[in-house]
Structure formats: structure tokens, C-alpha cells
Structure 1
């Protein structure tokens, strides 16, 4: 397997997701431990202002504002019920090659949709700025 393919699929494995949870604010006596977060498909993607952002590696759903009693699997299912990973009936290691490729195809749909939506958002923001510039020019303001 080449390096690109390995990078593409490494987050399917629990151990790799678990490694991302260094600095996670909840580690014991709660439901959203790093272990439970990783089991539910999440990786830790903190920002400067939000140390508790977690994103599903598969559906790319980001959740923050975790509380100690939040169950990662239930939260994932309630916020992204169409995620094929959280709805898997068996372990990744037990999938057939065909099942894995079908799963990977579904993952790519999430990635493409997110990319398209991000691009549309950037375009709309740029259009708003351009529209404001045009209105300023038309009104003689500069």
C-alpha cells in the first residue's frame, strides 16, 4: 500500500483516532473519554478557542461543547444519523474488501460535499464583499 493510501485509511483504525486525543479535556469519570470518543469515530481537532472540538473522520461532522455526561456514540448518531461509520454493524477489521470499498465510497461523498459547501460559502462571502464595493462605487463613496 502506498503512503497516500495509508494516510487515506489510517483513521479507520481506533488506535490512530485515539492518538489524536492528547490534551482532551475529559479523561476520567465521564462518558466522553478519549477511548469512547475514538470508538465513536471521532478525532480530536482542537482550535485555539475551542479545546474540545471533535470531528468524525468519516462524515466530517464537528462537535464541540462536550459535557462529561455526553455519550459520544449517541451524540454522533443524533447529529449525523447518515454517517455510515457510526452505523456499522461490525468492526472495520471484519469487513470484506468489497464492504470496505463501498464504505470508502460513502466517505468520499462526505468529503466531496464538505469541499463543495466550503467553496460555495467562500464564493458567497466574496460576492457579498464585491456587491458592497459596487454599491459604494455607485453611490459615489470611496
Structure 2
């Protein structure tokens, strides 16, 4: 992970997060507008079945099932209370280089943990299926 990678750091900035909300189902007369979502650190990450998935670019928490009255900051804090991006006391543009690198280090830890946990889950699922196949063979069910 290159801490200077432009793709890796561009989502720290509101404008870049806001650009991801093309096609967001809520845009006016509600709390979860694209602007409020982006302010709360979210990027729009829709799937085929769920057009309203939003993910924090920093803590990687995904939330869906948004209602017009949902406050993005409150939802983010309630579902990911330890998100350090939400805990920032100043704008990203005002961070010192040291503060930014500490933040980026924490973000990389989150990414590594998520990647590892996803790989473990896939392995465990594959092992479960393999085990079931072995049991079937041993029982003469195939």
C-alpha cells in the first residue's frame, strides 16, 4: 500500500466523495442528500439489488436501507463509533502531515483487517462445502 497513491487519498476530500453519489435515490427534501452523505464520510457503493448502499471510505462500514429522515452523521456514529474520520476535529485540509499519516496508518490497518477477514470467511465457507462433500462420500451418498 503506497501512502502517496492518489487513488488511495482522494476520498479524504468531500468533492471526490460527492461525485460518487450519481444515481443516489435521495436528493431533495430529506436528510440523506448526497451532500450530507459525503460530509459524513460516505461514498456511494450501489449493488445490483441495493441502489442505496453507502460505505465510509475510511472505516469501510457499509449501510443500506436509508430512509429520507436518516441523518448520515448520526447513522455513521451509531454504526461505527470508532471511525477516526468521524472523530476528526478539523478539516482534512488543515491536518498536519504527521496527523494525516497517522490517520492513513489507521485506515490501512482497517483495510488489511477487512481483507484478511474476508479471505478467512471465504476459506471457511470453502472448507465447509468440502467437508460436506467428504461426509457424503464417506456415507456412500454420492
Normalising by structure 1, report the TM-score.
0.96
Q: Any runs of at least 4 consecutive aligned residues in structure 1 with deviations exceeding 4 A, and if so which?
A: none
Equivalent residue number for residue 127 of structure 1 = 127
Equivalent residue number for residue 73 of structure 2 = 73
Q: CA deviation at 1:38?
A: 0.2
1:47-77: per-residue Cα shift (whole Å, max 9, x none)? 1110000000000000000000100001000
Secondary structure of the 2:20 match is helix
Aligned residues: 140
Distance 2:135 2:8 in 1: 46
Distance 1:82 1:110 in 2: 11
Equivalent residue number for residue 59 of structure 1 = 59
Distance 1:112 1:69 in 2: 34
Q: CA deviation at 1:141?
A: 1.6
CA RMSD of aligned residues (A): 1.1
Equivalent residue number for residue 97 of structure 1 = 97
1:7-47: per-residue Cα shift (whole Å, max 9, x none)? 11000000000000000000010000000000000000001
Distance 1:74 1:113 in 2: 25
Find out whether 1:141 has 2:141 as its counterpart: yes
Secondary structure of the 1:21 match is coil
Distance 2:75 2:108 in 1: 22
Secondary structure of the 2:49 match is coil
Structure 2 unpaired stretches of 5+: none
Normalising by structure 2, report the TM-score.
0.96
Secondary structure of the 2:87 match is coil
Equivalent residue number for residue 5 of structure 2 = 5
